[in-house]
Chains A and B, each alone.
Chain A
Amino acid sequence: MHGWTGTILHIDLTAGTHTFERPSPSLYETWLGGKGLAGYYLSPDVTRRWDAPEMPLILMTGPLVGTASPTSGRCCVMSRSPLTGTIGDTSVGGTLGNQLKRAGLDGIIVRGAGTRMCGVEIVDDTVVVVDAEDLRGTDTETCAARLNGKGATALIGPAAENGVRYASIMVDSGHAAGRNGLGLVFAAKNLKYMTVKGTGKVHVLDPDGLKQAREDVFRQIAASPVLLGELGIAQYGTGALYDLMDSRRMMPTANFRETVFDRARVANAAAYKERYAPKRTGCNGCHILCKKVTAEGTHLPEFETMSHFSALLGNDDIDIVTQANALCNRMGMDTISAAVTLACHAELTGDSISGSRILSLLEDIGQARGLGVELGRGSQRYAESQGEPELAMAVKGQELPAYDPRGAYGMALAYATSTRGGCHLRAYPISHEILRKPVATDRFSFAGKARIVKIAEDANAVVDSLTACKFVFFASSLEEFAKAYSAVTGVPSTAQDLLRIGERICYHERIMNARNGFSATDDDLPKRFFAEGGSSGNAIDIKPVDRDAFLNARTNYYAVRGLDTNGRPLPAKAGELGLELHAETD
């Protein structure tokens, strides 16, 4: 095969065995890889509890990984989310995807559970399950240091071992598979870490065709102010968005009660640049290099983390933000969910949480001490337990990222319809509502947004299946990546062909969620956004989202997506996409 290696590794931790599967080419062409193929393997078991031994934990790469295709070095991690109960997935960078491909693997599917804490070590086609009891309780940095030289690492920290619902998986130390709490699935299997080292190479059918597609993409990236512009993310990291969100008056502040942070100027990306003089770094095979590290090697926070550990909590000390980010990474927990849960607690109790209090609470969460046990359950469970469920700023139980939906209505709809709960990346309407790509749309209108969100969800499902980085699509499009895909694999394809696959992947996720009881009730936003306005000013009026307009847009989305009025899949549409509905869905 070209692009794909043609091999998927199955590991049974209960039995301590492994097998290699060689799927048919048609399976790859149907699901691409990454998120699409992972969903295919998750589906038979998706109604199990997330901590059932039979529940698969899936790491899957795509056909472009390990090739010269731009920004295509990522890996998808998927299982059922312990945080939301939906399908759970997260795309992660670093070297994991590349090492998998070089080891001759498109993906790994782990089932069962060890009786003791264990690790999985892979070197090409050699797979060893080793005892890792001595690593129990270690933080991610300590654990990674102990695994030095074993290739790419994917591992968990104390947060997962202590049951934090938003526990993450850390890849190569600096890259977090953060969302949906999938670190907890590692812990449920008594799996502390995986290492992967490969020496092979990925075969490309048409290197000249790939080179042409690559040059087209590079030209577009160079023309993108958001990516390579002097104020863009190559220079400042994703934190470059910080000032923009504030100036558009949609920066979540004080647990989303306000949308402007009056001290944003001292906590923006420029402040980090001045304070830390960071170096640029990034994922394998990427020249944008959006990640920033200090001279001492400390990873600086991404935009979401910058925003939520400052504005959302009323903290203007960027050293504290940096330390909070590092602490979450060491503990192995998602920064977005952690910060929103702290903000929920602050509003609920009236306490001010800033400075060292942020750090001590994060430590308590990771170590499951005192109040940290409750906060480690996530904002929704915590707020419900306190009798104030409406104070959790979450969708389907997952905490919302740093874009206030009252400032971008496409984002409001996309938060609601996301199959993994509160997520900005499923449709990323910020691209057109704020960043003006491919063209600007009216951010305060739902007009046309249902279909825009649906198409973007399909496109991003493709990106997560190829598996590439979404940032490049601020500049480029599936038109260029279809050429790369065809050049690599030899499968004739167009942007529209890929979008059709993306549609199948998204619909499949809706089917899996429906089997677990999800419906329109869950495709909704916290009440705050319909009842309270944001921080208006500078001729920008941040009104409450009109409930009727939102519901109308959601109804339109269901129609465009081919769902029933309750947001559940329909047999005819499923059949059209080559999918089956199961008894639970019917």
Chain B
Amino acid sequence: MQKLIDKYAAKMVEAGLAEPGAPVVGGLDAELRWNRDAPECAELARLFEHLNINSLVYAEPAEPYRSIIDYLAAQDDHVQPNDSETRTFMHDLPVIDDFSAASMAAELKRHKSVIIRNRGIVTWGTVSPEQAFVFFSSACFACFVKFFSDYLYAAKQGTLTAKQTRLFESVADQLYPLPETPPTLMRGPFTNETDVYNAVIEAGRKTVEYRLVDSFFGNVSYLHDNTLYISQTGSSLDELEGCVDPCVLDGSSCAGITASSELTAHREIVLGTGRQAILHGHPKFSVTLSMYCDKYGCDRRDRCHTRCADYRAIDDVPIVPGEVGTGPHGLCHTLPPAMEGNRGVIVYGHGLFTTGQDDFNEAFSSLLSIERLCRQRYFELVGG
């Protein structure tokens, strides 16, 4: 347990979610253990008496998340982001004032996270500190996207407040600078399994390093010898060793049942486009901008993520509706046809998919350049 606690405390910092020394991570089996002896530990320890959990994370988020979350938390007692991940898994983010176990537990009984105004975020897990880490990361991502999305709408409608504008200018200056050039990845085509695994692992790790995915989700796949090698569901893209499933496409095995929930979409893409490599990340401005639509009177306004029937695009990059997985509104129905002839496609409020012919260089380059394009277009829209 101690190794896991220390690992996720370190990952909080590596991912830019918290400053060094800020995370407090606790894990309980027969004994309660912490990553460090923090003043908050005594109060947080009481949470384990209130909740049937085995781990928790508390931290003041790093900038720009801290300022954004403080701002959103000042507006309401519930932050309600509209991105795909929050809609599917987190639902909403409650806000309280009191850093007491009783107050925090009252919300954590119903939610996966709680924001304590001007203090930070607490999240929990029932099987691993990784769960708490993922919820923390998801909360930061969701708040980031919500803030920038709300700001864009307010800017276009002329309803910006001075406070909102001040904060926007401040956090815009603190944005993580996108690298100018993509990395040089392994050159394909890959003709043996070992190279395929290594290429998938490398592409995943670089996607995280370049901060093109949050919560460490997203997925990666490569088609080789009628088998789609795809990252497993819930795997961290920077730790794909042992987490890539070979899924034979002839239907003779279910061994890939633990493959990414987007297996069907990936399969349809490789079969439809003839391209072998797929990369999927959650770059922030691609997600944010995909949620901006100025058809205010549209009768599908609250159901854009499943019902939007219009052709939408950011320059040459289409935006399609679709939920995670294979349900009736699943992105497996909308994404694959949109990928044909395009360098990338954004799924509304979710993330960006790109492809490469026989390795990940082009897919990565597209992921990076489309996110750069979205960031640029976003600031143009706000400025204009």
CA distance A420 to B1 in the complex (A): 29
Q: Which residues of B have CB within 8 Å of A455?
A: 52-54, 126-127
Q: In the bound complex, what is the Cα–Cα distance between A223 and B305 (angstroms)?
A: 14
Q: Is B234 an interface residue (CB 8 A)?
A: yes
A241 vs B233: C-alpha distance in the bound complex, in angstroms?
15
Q: Measured between C-beta atoms, what is the minimum distance from A433 to chain B in Å? A: 9
> A227 CB to closest chain B CB, in angstroms?
9
Residue from B127, B247, B264 within 8 A of A438 (CB atoms): B127
Residues of A with C-beta under 8 A to B131: 438-439
- Tell whether B280 is near chain A: CB-to-CB under 8 Å: no
Task: Across the interface, name the chain A residue whose C-beta is closest to B28.
Answer: A451
Once the chains bind, are A436 and B234 in contact (CB under 8 Å)? yes
Say whether B109 contacts A497, CB under 8 Å. Answer: yes
- Asked if B159 CB lies within 8 Å of chain A CBs, one says no
Cβ contacts under 8 Å, A269 to chain B? 254
Residue B359 is within 8 A (CB to CB) of chain A in the complex: no
Closest to A452 in B: B127
- Residue on A nearest B111 in the bound complex, by CB: A479
Smallest CB gap from B55: residue in A: A448
Q: Which of B1, B88, B127, B257 contacts A219 (CB 8 A)?
A: B88
From B309-317, B325-333, B366-374, the one touching the partner chain is: B325-333
Cβ contacts under 8 Å, A438 to chain B: 125-127, 131, 234
Interface flag for B27 (CB, 8 Å): yes
Min CB distance A243 to B, Å, is 4
Q: Please, what's the 1-or-0 string for B88-113, where 1 marks a CB less than 8 Å from any CB in chain A?
A: 11010000000000000100111110
How many A residues have CB within 8 A of the partner chain? 61
**Known contacts A231-B247, A448-B27, A451-B29; A244/B261 CB under 8 A:** no
A219 with B253, Cβ < 8 A, contacts A225-B263, A244-B258, A479-B110 known: no
By the criterion CB–CB under 8 Å, are B109 and A226 in contact?
no
Check A463 for interface membership: any CB of B closer than 8 A: no
Tell me whether B164 is interfacial, beta carbon within 8 Å. Answer: no
17 new A-B contacts at CB < 8 Å, known A265-B252, A439-B127: A219-B88, A220-B88, A224-B325, A225-B233, A231-B254, A231-B259, A241-B254, A269-B254, A434-B258, A437-B233, A439-B130, A439-B134, A441-B127, A448-B128, A495-B109, A496-B52, A496-B108
Complex formed: what's the CA distance from A117 to B326 in Å?
50
**Shortest beta-carbon distance from A413 to chain B in Å:** 11
Q: Are B263 and A452 in contact (CB under 8 A)?
A: no
Residues of chain A whose beta carbon lies under 8 Å from any beta carbon of chain B: 216, 218-226, 228-232, 236, 239-244, 246-247, 265, 268-270, 273, 432, 434-441, 447-452, 455-456, 458-459, 479, 482, 494-497, 499-500, 503, 555-556, 559-560
Question: Is the pair B54, A229 in contact by a Cβ cutoff of 8 Å?
Answer: no
Q: Which residues of B contact A437 (CB under 8 A)?
A: 233-234
In the assembled complex, the Cα of A218 lies from the Cα of B327 at a distance in Å of 8
Contact B29 A222 (CB under 8 A): no
**Which chain B residue shows the least CB distance to A503?**
B52
The verdict on A268 contacting B253 (CB below 8 Å), with A226-B258, A439-B125, A448-B128 known, is yes
Using Cβ atoms and an 8 Å threshold, which residues of chain A touch B89? 220
Taking the closest CB of chain B, its distance from the CB of A280, in whole angstroms, is 14
**Partner of B257 from A229, A451, A456, A459 at Cβ < 8 Å:** A229
B46 close to A (CB within 8 Å): no
Q: Are B261 and A500 in contact (CB under 8 A)?
A: no
The residues of B that contact A242 with a CB separation of less than 8 Å are: 254
Contact of B253 among A221, A270, A459, A555 (CB under 8 A): A270
Q: Which residues of B contact A218 (CB under 8 A)?
A: 327
**Given that A222-B325, A231-B259, A436-B234 are known contacts, is A448 also in contact with B4, CB under 8 Å in the complex?**
yes
- In Å, the complex CA distance between A438 and B130 comes to 10
Residue from A242, A440, A452 with most neighbouring chain B CB atoms (10 Å) = A440
Alpha-carbon separation in the docked complex, A268 to B248 (Å): 14
Q: Find residues 233-248 in chain B having any chain A CB closer than 8 Å to their own CB.
A: 233-235, 243, 247
- Most B CB contacts (10 A, CB to CB) among A225, A482, A496 go to A225
Contact A556 B127 (CB under 8 A): no
Give the distance to chain A from B380, nearest Cβ to Cβ, in Å. 34
Chain B residues within 8 Å of A458, by CB: 52
B119-158, CB < 8 A from A: 125-128, 130-131, 134
**Is there a chain A Cβ closer than 8 Å to B260's Cβ?**
yes
B52 with A440: CB separation less than 8 A: no
B126/A452 in contact, CB under 8 A? yes
How many residue pairs, one in A and one in B, have C-beta atoms under 8 Å apart?
173
Q: How far is the CA of A438 from the CA of B128 in the complex (A)?
A: 9
> Quick check: B109 and A230 within 8 Å, CB to CB?
no
Is B301 engaged at the interface, CB distance under 8 Å to the other chain?
A: no
CB-CB nearest in chain A for B259: A225
B interface bracket (residues with beta carbon within 8 Å of A): 35 or more
Set of chain A residues within 8 Å of B256, measured between Cβ atoms: 231
Q: A231-B254, A559-B30 are in contact. Are A479 and B52 (CB under 8 A)?
A: no
Distance A358 CA – B96 CA, assembled complex (angstroms)? 63
Q: Which residues of B contact A236 (CB under 8 A)?
A: 254
Closest partner residue, chain A, to B133 (CB atom):
A439
* Residue pair A222, B53 in contact (C-beta under 8 Å): no
Using Cβ atoms and an 8 Å threshold, which residues of chain A touch B257? 225-226, 229, 231-232, 240-241, 243-244, 435
- Least CB distance, B101 to chain A, in whole angstroms: 13
Closest to A499 in B: B52
Q: 6 tightest A-B contacts by CB?
A: A222-B327, A556-B30, A494-B109, A223-B324, A496-B109, A223-B325
B87 interfacial contact with A, CB 8 Å = yes
Judge if B187 is at the interface, Cβ distance under 8 Å.
no
For residue B251, CB closer than 8 A to chain A, the reply is yes
Cβ-defined contact, B324 with A222, below 8 A: yes
> Could you tell me if A496 and B51 are in contact, using CB atoms closer than 8 angstroms?
yes
Cβ-based interface call for B307 (8 A)? no
Distance, CA A220 to CA B261, complexed state (A): 11
Contact between chains at A219 and B87 (CB < 8 Å) = yes
Task: Write out the residue numbers on chain A whose beta carbons fall within 8 Å of the beta carbon of B3.
Answer: 447
Contact with A along B45-58 (1 / 0, CB 8 A): 00000111110000
Question: Which residues 281-337 in B have Cβ within 8 Å of A in the complex?
Answer: 323-330
Report B-chain residues with C-beta under 8 Å of the C-beta of A434: 258
Give the chain A neighbours of B126 by CB distance below 8 A. Answer: 438, 452, 455-456, 459
Known contacts A231-B256, A247-B255, A555 near B52 by CB under 8 Å? no
Of all chain B residues, the one with the shortest Cβ separation from A247 is B255
- Distance in angstroms between the alpha carbons of A222 and B89 in the assembled complex: 12
A432 in complex: contacting residue of B30, B50, B128, CB < 8 Å: B128
A203 to B234, CA, bound (A): 38
Question: Could you tell me if A229 and B127 are in contact, using CB atoms closer than 8 angstroms?
Answer: no
Q: Which residues of B contact A439 (CB under 8 A)?
A: 125, 127-128, 130-131, 134, 234
In the bound complex, do residue A231 and residue B263 qualify as a contact, i.e. CB atoms below 8 Å apart? yes
Chain A residue with Cβ nearest B5: A448
Question: Is the C-beta of B232 less than 8 angstroms from some C-beta in chain A?
Answer: yes
Given contacts A231-B247, A244-B257, A244-B258, whether A223 and B323 have CB atoms under 8 Å apart is: yes
Report B25-41 residues with CB < 8 Å from chain A CB. 27-30
Residues of chain B within 8 A (CB-CB) of A232 are 257
Q: Report the bound CA distance from A529 to B328 in whole Å.
A: 45
Smallest CB gap from B30: residue in A? A556
A409 to chain B, nearest CB (A): 13
Partner of A436, one of B28, B258, B328: B258
Shortest Cβ distance from B110 into A: residue: A494
Write the nearest CB–CB distance from B116 to chain A, whole angstroms. 18
A219 / chain B contacts, CB cutoff of 8 Å: 87-88, 323-324, 327
Q: How far is the CA of A265 from the CA of B232 in the complex (A)?
A: 21
